[in-house]
């Protein structure tokens, strides 16, 4: 098998040189200020070794990648009852689409499109103050990444608060079907802030370790979730983690993965690695353009596709 450190360094070098970088998201104004030339990658293997290169220690806005962690927390809180409020089928439509909600009685297709993630955030909130729910999410990330230096980028959160009209529409629409239980402003406040959590590739790859190890944090031995739950979260990441680009991602990369409009992707090679990549330019589905290409190279060179 090729050397992981060398492979990761090679990929970072190739990505840095590429002229095709995609388009940085501008609908959240603060995200538009990010350098499209950035590229970072970090891989934690089954032995806990970290291979990292490029801008792997630069913090970026994790955006929808946070939805993997909120899903994990919500399942921990209310278990399979969560699936009464949100489905687990791919949507085949954009991350912020509203069209399916009317026909499907306000139940979002899956926990990774915006509507679904807002419903998941509402389940975490369950009567608590927004500050408490947000603290819980942040502490969970710090715990699984074993790093207290993970925080919310308040500028990004404020920028999305100001411009999040579509998300407000989605939340109000679900409220009309009684799918949400807390005041819309509370739920959206927590949602905007957890999307605005800033992390480096290294921190994110560390945070994803429990998903490659049957739900266990390999260095501490602590069980974060059961093996069955880890498998299921991976399954939803594979089928829904890249919105209407999920089929393409499975076809090209062959791993469960979750993208965010900040340009990050967290991918899981079960029993082999937890991987984070970051390149801010996006493709037409709102997924990192070079992030996906880098992951495709990595899985090909390391032979890590779950499809053999």
Residues in binding site: 64, 114, 160, 167, 191, 243, 261
> Can 246 be counted among the known catalytic residues?
no
How far apart CA 68 and CA 166 sit, in angstroms, is: 21
The reply on whether position 161 binds ligand GLN by CB under 6 A is no
Distances (CA, A) of 77 to 115, 189, 232, 307: 19, 20, 16, 32
Q: Is residue 260 part of the contact set for ligand GLN (CB under 6 A)? A: yes
Among 45, 160, 244, 283, binds ligand GLN (CB under 6 A): 160
**Residue 254 makes contact with ligand GLN by CB under 6 A:** no
Window 289-308: residues binding ligand GLN (CB under 6 A): none
Is residue 67 flagged as an active site residue?
Answer: yes
Q: Which uninterrupted H or E stretch holds 227?
A: helix 227-240
- 243 counts as catalytic: yes
Determine the Cα–Cα distance for residues 61 and 42; give it in Å rounded to an integer. 16
Q: Is 155 annotated in the active site?
A: no
Residue in 7, 22, 63, 133 binding ligand GLN, rule: CB under 6 A? 63
Nearest to 52 by CA among 37, 40, 36, 68: 40
Residues at the binding site for substrate are 64, 114, 160, 167, 191, 243, 261
The answer to whether the beta carbons of residues 94 and 168 sit under 8 Å apart is: no
CA distance 38 to 247: 26
Distances in whole angstroms, Cα of residue 118 to Cα of each of 3, 225, 258, 290: 41, 22, 16, 28
Residue 261 makes contact with ligand GLN by CB under 6 A: yes
Alpha-carbon span 253 to 296, nearest angstrom: 4
Q: Is position 72 an interface residue for ligand GLN (rule: CB under 6 A)?
A: no
- Which of 7, 100, 114, 234 touches ligand GLN (CB under 6 A)? 114
**8, 43, 66, 67: which one is catalytic?**
67
CB of 307 to ligand GLN, least distance (A): 25
Among 167, 200, 203, 274, which residue sits at the site for ligand GLN (rule: CB under 6 A)? 167
Kindly state whether residue 282 participates in binding ligand GLN, applying the rule CB under 6 A: no
Q: Do the beta carbons of residue 85 and residue 179 sit within 8 Å?
A: yes
Contact predicate 204/266, CB 8 Å: yes
Report the interface residues with ligand GLN, using CB under 6 A.
63-64, 95-96, 114, 160, 167, 195, 260-261, 286
Q: Which residues are catalytic?
A: 64, 67, 191, 243, 261
């Amino acid at each position: 098998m090729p050397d992981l450190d060398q492979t990761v360094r090679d990929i970072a070098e190739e990505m840095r040189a590429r002229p095709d970088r995609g388009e940085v998201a501008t609908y959240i104004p603060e995200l538009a200020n990010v350098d499209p030339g950035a590229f970072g990658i970090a891989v934690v293997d089954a032995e806990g070794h970290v291979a990292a290169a490029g801008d792997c220690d630069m913090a970026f806005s994790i955006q929808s990648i946070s939805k993997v962690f909120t899903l994990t927390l919500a399942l921990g809180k209310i278990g399979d009852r969560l699936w009464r409020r949100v489905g687990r089928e791919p949507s085949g439509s954009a991350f912020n689409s509203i069209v399916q909600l009317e026909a499907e009685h306000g139940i979002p297709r899956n926990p990774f499109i915006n509507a679904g993630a807002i419903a998941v955030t509402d389940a975490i909130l369950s009567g608590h103050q927004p500050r408490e729910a947000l603290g819980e999410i942040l502490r969970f990330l710090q715990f699984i990444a074993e790093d207290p230096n993970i925080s919310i980028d308040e500028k990004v959160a404020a920028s999305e608060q100001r411009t999040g009209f579509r998300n407000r529409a989605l939340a109000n629409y679900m409220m009309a079907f009684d799918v949400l239980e807390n005041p819309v402003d509370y739920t959206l406040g927590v949602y905007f802030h957890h999307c605005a959590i800033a992390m480096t590739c290294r921190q994110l790859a560390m945070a994803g370790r429990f998903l490659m190890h049957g739900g266990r944090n390999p260095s501490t031995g602590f069980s974060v979730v059961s093996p069955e739950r880890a498998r299921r979260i991976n399954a939803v990441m594979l089928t829904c983690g890249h919105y209407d680009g999920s089929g393409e991602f499975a076809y090209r990369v062959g791993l469960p993965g979750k993208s965010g409009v900040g340009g990050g992707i967290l991918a899981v090679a079960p029993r082999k690695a937890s991987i984070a990549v970051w390149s801010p330019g996006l493709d037409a589905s709102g997924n990192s353009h070079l992030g996906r290409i880098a992951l495709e190279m990595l899985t090909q060179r390391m032979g890590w596709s779950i499809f053999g």
